[in-house]
Every structure is written in C-alpha cells, then in structure tokens.
Chain A
Amino acid sequence: MLKEKNKKIKIKIDGKNYDCFVGEKILEVASRNNIFIPSLCNHPDLDVKANCRVCVVEVKGFNRLMTSCSTVACDGMEVFTNSPKVKLSRDTNLKLIFSAHIEKCVNCTSRFSCDLLSLARRYGLNIASFNDRKGQRKTYKFSNSVEIDGSQCIDCRNCIDACSNIQKINYLKKEGKGYKQEIVPVKDKNIDCIYCGQCALHCPVASAQEQYNWDKVEDILSNKKGKKLIAMIAPSTRISIGEMFGLPYGYNAAGQMVTALKKIGFDQVIDVNLGADITTLVEAEELLERLGDKKAKLPMITSCCPAWVKYLEFYRPDLIPHLTTSRSPQIHLGGVIKTYWANKKNIKPKDIITVSIMPCTAKKFESRRSELKINGLYPVDEVITVRELAFLIKKNGIDFKNLKPEKSNDLFNDGSGAAVIYGASGGVMESALRTANHFVCKDSKKAKICHSRIEFKEVRGLKGVKEAVIDLNGNKLNVAVVSGIGNIKEVLSKLKKYHYIEVMACPGGCIGGGGQIIPSSMEIVQKRMEGLYSSDKKEKIRTAHENRDALEAVNWVKNSKLSHKVLHTKYINRKNK
C-alpha cells in the first residue's frame, strides 16, 4: 500500500491545488484532504462499482459528470464538487435512492449513524420527493442471525460483493433486471449462508442487517419478573464501541460498557474474557492430549467462530472430528454463570437471564444450538450485536464518552490479556499456545526460558493465511491461522501438514465481525487490532492458566461432573443430501 506522492500530478478541487498519488482516485484525494464528497456504494474493502452515482463531480472540459470513486486523478484536472450540475445529479440520485429505501428509521439501529439521513440533512433534501416503490418486497431471513430487507435495499450490491468476493460463499445473487431487480439467496442445495454477516457490515443502508434482539432485551429489562439479568461483553466489542461515541480507534471502553449496561438495567456484567480464558484452558488441554495420542485426529481446528463451524458442518462435515470439542467463550461463560455462579450466589439457574454483546451475527445462531443446553436451559438467552448495544445506549441518551468506568461484578475477574486478543485473528491460537507452552514446559529443564515466552507474534496480523512452526519444548508444531473464510480452501487443501489451525470466518477476526460497528474496513480493523494487543500488554495477567477465577470455575465444573455439559460440545452434519 506504499504509494508515492507524485509531485507532478496536481489537481484542482474547488479552486485549490492538491498533490496526488499515482493512480489515486478523485474521491481518495478529496477525503485525504478533508473535502467531503458523499458516497454510498463505495467501500474500501470492495472493488469500485460506481453504481450509486452519488459521488459525481464535474471535471472541466467534460459535459457529463464523473464518479469520483472511479475516476483516476490526472495532472491538471479541475474538479468541482458542488457545481450546479453536480448538485442537480447528486440531489436527484439521493432522492431516487430514498424512494427505493422504505424508511423504517424509528426502530433502525443505524438511525444515529445513518449515512442516508445525514446526507438528506446536509443537502436539505425532501426525502419523500418520490413515492416509496418497494413496499411489496420480501425480507429474507437467514436462520435467526442475518436478514436482507428488500424494501430497504438501494441496489448497490455491496452485500453480493462481500459474500462472493471477500467470503467466497456466493450465497447472494441479483435476480431480475432494471427496477425489478432484487437481491435474493441462491437456490442451490450446495450453497448455504454461514451467518457471518459480512453483507450487513458492508451495507450502507442497513438493508442487510442482523436480526434484532435488542427489542427482546428491552422487554426483559422492563419486566424483570424477579430475574437476574446478566450482560456479557465480548473481547472485541470493548475496542470498537467507542467509535460510535467519538472515542479514538482502538480505545478500550470495557469500563464504560459496564457502567452503561448497568444504567440500562442489567444487574451484573461479566466479561466474556473470563469465558475466553476457560476456552483456552479447555482447548490447550485438548491440543496436548491429541498431540500425545497417536490415534487422535490432527490437525485440531478451533471452533469458537460459529460461522466457521457452520461452514464446516455444511461444506466439510467429514472434518468434524478435527474440530476441538471445546465450546466457545460466550457459551462457556453462559454455562458457568448458570452453574457455578448460580451455585455460589444461590440463585436458581432458571432465574438467570444472560444477554451477550457480540461483534457477530452468527453468535445468534450459535446461542440457539439445542445441543448446548444445560439441564434444559440455553447458556446464553439473548445475543445482541455491539451495534445493537450502541443503539440502545444512544437511544437512552447515555453520555457514553463521559461515563465513569465501573467494576464489572463481585465474583469474576475480567480475564487475562490472552482473552482480550481473542478478538483478533491469531488471538485464539496465541492464547492456546501461551498456555500449552506452559503446560508442556512445566517440569522440563528449560522451564524457566520456556515460561518467559508469552508472545507468539508470528500468528498475528491481517494476512489471509498465516503459517508458523512453533517450538513447544523441542516439539515442532505446524500451525496455520485463517483470517476470513474466503481463504479457507488454501489451508484445507494441505490439511495434513498442520497440527493446529485457527479459523475466523471474518477478515481480521472478530474485530472485523459481521456485527461490528459500521463503518468498518480493513484499515479500521487494523486500528482495532492494535488496540487489542496494546490492551493485552497492559494486563498483569496475560495467560489463561494464571487466571485463578477461570481455573476455579473449570475445576468446580469438573468436580461437579458437568464437564461434558458445560465445557464440551458436539457438531452436526448439515450437508444437504
């Protein structure tokens, strides 16, 4: 991405001169210099499509306008972003787009950050210039996690590109032509949605979005019926939620989240980091068991990403034995809350309601997997995305930025540094390696040197596939980390090469999750990642096996003979026959 600024390429925008990079688009030059040009279909993660025609500019010498997202800056160009022609086209196109998008603003989680509404305000547009035309359009629901509401779609096709070009799932397609066209799921029994929500993350108008649960959460909060309401916050959400409230990228707002959730009405907030430490303990133990057992299936593959699990169950059920039996952090934590915590607090498990705040849409699907039930109860009762939480906070007029951070709860700590990094691709792998390394070296001669190793930087970063050879007390461990399900085939094609594989369906891991704060792009994901790793560095405890609360919970579960109910799970062959 290192582009050199070429002093020879100069363009004029609205009368002022600007230097350009070679091959830079007008829109890029403008945004780099804080000149506002509106855009909707343009997304840094996707190829330029130039179909919304909202970013049009006038270039001297040309009768027609040009889309600034697609037009490369050439030396001497004179660009106008607000000429009468530009105003006419930009405003007309925006009005037309509004007429293709039925406003459901009242209950839309994007209402406080809606690009369309802010453009209408900015340009003083009558958003009802034309009648809404999509009243009869269907809403397609994908399990309980994602939906595409055709009545709100503005036909930019970012969802198709995210699904096909980034994730390579190809579940969405355009049907019909012209004004009749519609985004629909394909009817192919060999293709299914994995609920990753990348379509939602890239939709500029919340037509593709999570299936809401915030309304149910509001119901629960307003009618508690004597129940204990517990909010659970996922590792990656603390690092992104601040973006909605004017806090800098990478800012760890866990404390403010706790305060906000308590203000909204939750009795307790428990950090999913604790769940992540439990997952690490279970998973590291299983990894070492498998490595020591000649009959065991290798490589072992992580299972904390529910979209990846759905992918494997549908596309490669033959690999189910490779998945770790360990449950995911949210399910571990929910289970521990409804067993260990309930026992300590002397509360009946059925009187506890757990609500997790996730960067993910597939977590909604995971929460309803019936094989996870413990004595008839789901470990997690409701899942809302971090977007939904930000909406609730804004809706309730809470001044998030200036909240005083609060302590989460009185029993559990907030997890180790190894748990925080679960939010980034490579984080689960690194956490497990930190702990496995400790277990392996426990009694060896080199224990001292061995234990000083905490960081495994070779598995970090946003590369699609990362490979490394890890030395575990003299044993060479071949590992691979897949960031983004679109890169999965490369690793699956040489599966036998590895001992341990981490897969996250979303590029960058949970910090790039389908339930994350919008806007999200790989550039923003990079900043979130840096935030997570700097949080890890600040933690006093940076490994799961040093987290006493996690160890105690796991031991209690094991001693209560609840291991298979709380710590482990099984998977289902979902292949269409």
Chain B
Amino acid sequence: MTNILDKIKKAGLLGRGGASFPVHLKWQAVKNENSLEKYLVINGAEGEPGIHKDAYIINNHPEELIKGIKIASDFIKAKKIYFYLNKNLYNSKNKLNKLANSAGLKGKMVFFLKPINSGYIAGEETTILNIIECKDVEPRIRPPFPTCSGLYGKPTLINNVETIYNVYLVSQNKYQNKRFYSINFDKKNKGVYFLPDSLNIDEILKQTANYPEYDFFVQIGGDASGEVLNSRQLKRRVDGAGSITIYKMEKHFPEKLLNYWLGFFRDNSCGQCTPCREGTFRLYEMFKELGSEIRKEKRFNDLCDNLFLSSFCALGTSVPIAVLSYFKNIYEPLIISQKSSKVLKKDVKRKK
C-alpha cells in the first residue's frame, strides 16, 4: 500500500475524466493536507455525449473498480466516499454496494444520483461538490482547489471511474498503458474498446475494424466538446476523453450539426459567467439568423475567442472547439471541392 503512489507515478497515470491531469499529483496533494476529515468522490457522471466507458467499466469490471476505490480511500484515509452516478449508471447501485460492503467499505460509501436536468456541467468536479452540498449547480472558483478545500471545505480527492480502475490495475502491476475508447457512428455507440493509449486514430479504427469504406470525418474526445478532424488528420492520438465518433460525409447536414453543438452549449451553460451565459446565447442566435455564414462574422469569431480566453470553467473554453474545427477541417474544404455541391444543396433544401 505504501508504494501505491510510487507505482502510480511510475506508470504515469493521467486522469481520465478528460483533463489528463497527472494522478499522483492530485493524490499527493490530498495526502499532504493536514486534516482529519478528507473525502473521496468518484465521478461517474459521464455527461459528455459519445462517451460510454464508465458504464462499460461498471458493467464489466465492478470488482476491480471497487478495489480501486478501496485503495484510494485507504490512501487518503477518507472519512466518506461519495460515488456520484448518472441515472443510467445508478441502476448498478445495488451490485456496487454489495461489492463495496464485502470490500470493507460498509457504511463508508454513499451513492449519489446526479440530479435530473442538471445537465452537462453537473459532471465538472467542483460542480459535483456543490451538488452534494445542495448548492447551485455551478463550478466553483479555483483556487482553492478541491485537493485542499473540497467537499465541505475539506481536502477531497475526485477521480473519474476509469482513473480508479487504472489505479487498481497499477496496484496489481497489470497496467499496460491502455485506455478505453468509445467508437460511435453518427452518435450511435458501436462499442467500447480497450487499447494502448499510444495508438493514433487511424490505427484504432483499423484495429477495431471500424475504418469506414466511405468518405467520412471524425470527432474525438466527446460529441459536444471534441475536435472535428477530416480523414487526412487521423495520425493523432485521442486526447482528453476517449471517444471517436464517425460521421458519413455524404449524409451529414452541416447546419444540423452546428445547431446541435451551439444549441447544446447554450442550453447547458450554467449561467455563472458572462462569456458563456451570454456568449452561447448570442452564438446560437446568430447561427439561427445566418446559418453557416456565421463563420465569416467578426462578432462570431470574437465570441469564440472570448469563450476560450475568459470563461469561468472548462465547459466555456470548450464551446468553440467543435464548431471552429468543423468549419476549418470539413466545411471550408467542402465548399472548395467539387463534391460539396451535393451536400450543400441538400442543406439549403432542408432550410426551406
């Protein structure tokens, strides 16, 4: 047990919630805090569309997961463990609870159902702390970081389900630098695959026999906040959350996608800060008026830059990623190329 931190450090574990923060630093920070009361929060919100790995782990590796939780809890001497789960995952509560009891966590683990209509932001770690404390569903100002002042102002370790699963593997010397990839076709999940984190997108699609025969583009790291890449940009790793969503070039409607992204962020902004609350509202409003022509507007680009530069939390900074990368990597080349005429015509028709 004493060397678990060294093992984690050596393995180079990164947080799998999306931010890829080195796990050992978080653990060390909580451990260093001089407090008798510390909390462990397991984040099973899995709120990013297109990500299905947490559900996969809970369904297929619940014992390992619980053992990982026990390790984390013992390491920080947690007073209580909050297992935060979305509605779908909450169904596994009884199964997980039994396992927890037999792992010696009886009376220590509290299951916490993600509130309905709490939306995307309710998966952000400081927002979860607010939710558990019955406060507004909004991220907290940082610093202080949860590692020194988290739940009820006490040092708190918050880790994603996959991160904790990896901790278990590390403890058993079984960690092989693999991660979970959700692969989706036009937003329908095909499966979750466990593969080395060194693979690039092209390799992942080929090794899993998911490489499409048709003309396509992908979105990686989540269907809402992920970057959009064309089929010549696949020699990259998947950073952030592990997902690859494949869109059929011929079938897609540019304005439907843009509408989804911009509408999603407007409706999921918690409303705390100006650039996100007002910015996402204006982006959607301008899109409704101008359609994809929005990309030529200075105001559109200013709003996107402003979201990246000055929003309160990571949700805000990620708002423009999908839309901007889609315009740059897919839409603009489409317009230039011959093939585009078909796609764009369809889109115009739909609009009428």
- The chain A residue sitting closest to B270, CB to CB, is A177
- Chain A nearest CB, measured from B62 CB (Å): 33
Q: How far is the CA of A400 from the CA of B21 in the complex (A)?
A: 60
Q: How far is the CA of A178 from the CA of B136 in the complex (A)?
A: 12
Considering the complex, which residues of chain B in the window 261-319 have a beta carbon less than 8 Å from any beta carbon of chain A?
266-275, 277-282, 299, 302-303, 305-306, 308-312, 317
Does the CB pair A51–B310 fall under 8 Å? no
Q: Which residues of chain B have C-beta atoms less than 8 A from A97's C-beta?
A: 274, 278
A559 at the binding interface (Cβ < 8 Å): no
Considering the complex, which residues of chain A in the window 178-212 have a beta carbon less than 8 Å from any beta carbon of chain B?
178-181
Does the CB pair B302–A50 fall under 8 Å? no
Considering the complex, which residues of chain A in the window 89-140 have a beta carbon less than 8 Å from any beta carbon of chain B?
89, 92-93, 96-97, 99-100, 129-130, 133
Q: How far is the CA of A130 from the CA of B282 in the complex (A)?
A: 8
- The chain A residue sitting closest to B286, CB to CB, is A130
A469 at the binding interface (Cβ < 8 Å): no
- Chain A nearest CB, measured from B126 CB (Å): 13
- Chain A nearest CB, measured from B243 CB (Å): 24
Of A65, A99, A180, the residue contacting B310 (CB under 8 A) is A65
Q: How far is the CA of A158 from the CA of B119 in the complex (A)?
A: 25
Q: Which residues of chain B have C-beta atoms less than 8 A from A89's C-beta?
A: 275, 305-306, 309-310
Considering the complex, which residues of chain B in the window 140-176 have a beta carbon less than 8 Å from any beta carbon of chain A?
141, 143
Of B137, B278, B281, B309, the residue contacting A177 (CB under 8 A) is B137
Q: Which residues of chain A have C-beta atoms less than 8 A from B137's C-beta?
A: 177
Q: Which residues of chain A have C-beta atoms less than 8 A from B280's C-beta?
A: 178-179
- Per-residue CB contact flags for chain A residues 521-560 toward chain B (1 = under 8 Å, else 0) read 0000000000000000000000000000000000000000
Q: How far is the CA of A181 from the CA of B312 in the complex (A)?
A: 17
Q: Which of B136, B137, B273, B274 has the most CB of A within 10 A?
A: B274
Q: Which residues of chain B have C-beta atoms less than 8 A from A178's C-beta?
A: 266-271, 277, 280-281
A28 at the binding interface (Cβ < 8 Å): no
Stretch at the interface among A5-13, A52-60, A411-419: A52-60
On chain A, which size bracket covers the interface? 20 to 34
Does the CB pair B312–A50 fall under 8 Å? yes
- The chain B residue sitting closest to A50, CB to CB, is B141
Does the CB pair B271–A53 fall under 8 Å? no
- The chain B residue sitting closest to A56, CB to CB, is B310
- The chain B residue sitting closest to A89, CB to CB, is B310
A46 at the binding interface (Cβ < 8 Å): no
Does the CB pair B279–A96 fall under 8 Å? yes
Of B119, B273, B282, B303, the residue contacting A51 (CB under 8 A) is B273
Q: Which residues of chain B have C-beta atoms less than 8 A from A52's C-beta?
A: 273-274
Q: How far is the CA of A93 from the CA of B306 in the complex (A)?
A: 8
Does the CB pair A93–B274 fall under 8 Å? yes
- Per-residue CB contact flags for chain B residues 185-196 toward chain A (1 = under 8 Å, else 0) read 000000000000
Does the CB pair A100–B278 fall under 8 Å? yes
Q: Which residues of chain B have C-beta atoms less than 8 A from A85's C-beta?
A: 309
A64 at the binding interface (Cβ < 8 Å): yes
Does the CB pair B310–A96 fall under 8 Å? no
Q: How far is the CA of A497 from the CA of B310 in the complex (A)?
A: 53
A174 at the binding interface (Cβ < 8 Å): yes
Q: How far is the CA of A178 from the CA of B270 in the complex (A)?
A: 5
Q: Which residues of chain A have C-beta atoms less than 8 A from B310's C-beta?
A: 53, 56, 64-65, 67, 89, 93
- The chain A residue sitting closest to B302, CB to CB, is A92
Q: Which residues of chain A have C-beta atoms less than 8 A from B302's C-beta?
A: 88, 92
- The chain A residue sitting closest to B311, CB to CB, is A53
A48 at the binding interface (Cβ < 8 Å): yes
Asked, given contacts A99-B282, A177-B119, A179-B278, whether A56 binds B269 with beta carbons under 8 Å apart, the answer is no
Does the CB pair B269–A179 fall under 8 Å? yes
Q: Which residues of chain B have C-beta atoms less than 8 A from A88's C-beta?
A: 302, 305-306, 309
Q: Which residues of chain B have C-beta atoms less than 8 A from A72's C-beta?
A: 143
A70 at the binding interface (Cβ < 8 Å): yes
- Chain B nearest CB, measured from A203 CB (Å): 16
Q: How far is the CA of A361 from the CA of B136 in the complex (A)?
A: 29
Of A67, A99, A174, the residue contacting B136 (CB under 8 A) is A174
Does the CB pair A181–B271 fall under 8 Å? yes
Q: How far is the CA of A15 from the CA of B105 in the complex (A)?
A: 56
A564 at the binding interface (Cβ < 8 Å): no
Q: How far is the CA of A54 from the CA of B274 in the complex (A)?
A: 9
Q: Which residues of chain B have C-beta atoms less than 8 A from A93's C-beta?
A: 274-275, 278, 306, 310
Considering the complex, which residues of chain A in the window 37-84 have a beta carbon less than 8 Å from any beta carbon of chain B?
48-54, 56, 64-65, 67, 70, 72
- The chain A residue sitting closest to B142, CB to CB, is A70
Q: How far is the CA of A93 from the CA of B119 in the complex (A)?
A: 24
Asked, given contacts A48-B141, A50-B141, A177-B270, whether A96 binds B275 with beta carbons under 8 Å apart, the answer is yes
Q: How far is the CA of A52 from the CA of B277 in the complex (A)?
A: 10
Q: Which residues of chain B have C-beta atoms less than 8 A from A96's C-beta?
A: 274-275, 278-279, 282
Considering the complex, which residues of chain B in the window 243-274 have a beta carbon less than 8 Å from any beta carbon of chain A?
266-274
Q: How far is the CA of A13 from the CA of B83 in the complex (A)?
A: 45
Of A50, A56, A130, A155, the residue contacting B271 (CB under 8 A) is A155
Q: How far is the CA of A146 from the CA of B275 in the complex (A)?
A: 29
Q: How far is the CA of A515 from the CA of B281 in the complex (A)?
A: 34
- The chain B residue sitting closest to A85, CB to CB, is B309
Does the CB pair B271–A92 fall under 8 Å? no
Q: Which of A56, A65, A89 has the most CB of B within 10 A?
A: A89
Does the CB pair A64–B266 fall under 8 Å? no
Does the CB pair B306–A64 fall under 8 Å? no
Q: How far is the CA of A264 from the CA of B271 in the complex (A)?
A: 44
- Chain A nearest CB, measured from B130 CB (Å): 13
Q: How far is the CA of A181 from the CA of B266 in the complex (A)?
A: 12
Does the CB pair A51–B269 fall under 8 Å? no
Does the CB pair A179–B312 fall under 8 Å? no
- Chain B nearest CB, measured from A250 CB (Å): 35
- The chain A residue sitting closest to B305, CB to CB, is A88
Q: How far is the CA of A56 from the CA of B310 in the complex (A)?
A: 7
Q: How far is the CA of A129 from the CA of B279 in the complex (A)?
A: 13
**Complex A-B: 6 CB contacts under 8 Å:** A72-B143, A130-B278, A174-B271, A178-B267, A178-B270, A179-B271
Residue numbers of A with Cβ under 8 A of B are 48-54, 56, 64-65, 67, 70, 72, 85, 88-89, 92-93, 96-97, 99-100, 129-130, 133, 154-155, 174, 176-181
State the 3 A-B residue pairs at the shortest beta-carbon distance, nearest first. Answer: A96-B278, A179-B281, A89-B310
A85-B309, A89-B309, A179-B266 given; name 9 further pairs at CB < 8 Å.
A53-B274, A53-B275, A64-B309, A67-B310, A100-B278, A155-B271, A178-B270, A179-B278, A181-B277
